[in-house]
Amino acid sequence: MFYYIYILRSLKNNSLYIGYTADLKKRFYRHNAGLNKATKPFIPYQLIHYEAFLNRVDAKRREVYLKSGWGIKSIHKMLERYFI
């Protein structure tokens, strides 16, 4: 089984949401269906990036890093052409 970290971009206000899950398709559906309290006000979302990991601990560690200041900077660097 894989674990995924993912980055969503709100099409409403261009904000980013970073999360992790074992079922990426189901989780993406739940975000866009308004079933997640944190993301409901900003639907719809577009999946702009994801990474797969073989264990949950590595995925969670990557999620925590991406939510940090250095992580946000690396997201913008990694996806700089997307944000132009």
pLDDT in tens, 9-47: 999 999 999 999 999 999 999 999 999 999 999 999 999
On the question of a cis peptide bond just before residue 41, with omega within 30 degrees of 0, the verdict is no
Range 53-66 average pLDDT:
97
Residue 9 one-letter amino acid: R
> Residue 62 above 90 pLDDT?
yes
Q: Are the beta carbons of 8 and 15 closer than 8 angstroms?
A: no
Domain that holds residue 19: 3-83
Under the banding of pLDDT at 50, 70 and 90, the label for residue 83 is confident
The per-residue pLDDT for 59 is: 98
The per-residue pLDDT for 45 is: 97
Order of strands, sheet of 3-10, starting from the edge strand that comes earlier in the sequence: 16-21, 3-10, 45-53
Q: Are the beta carbons of 53 and 3 closer than 8 angstroms?
A: yes
Could you give the number of structural domains in the chain? 1
CATH number of the domain where residue 41 is located: 3.40.1440.10
The per-residue pLDDT for 84 is: 63
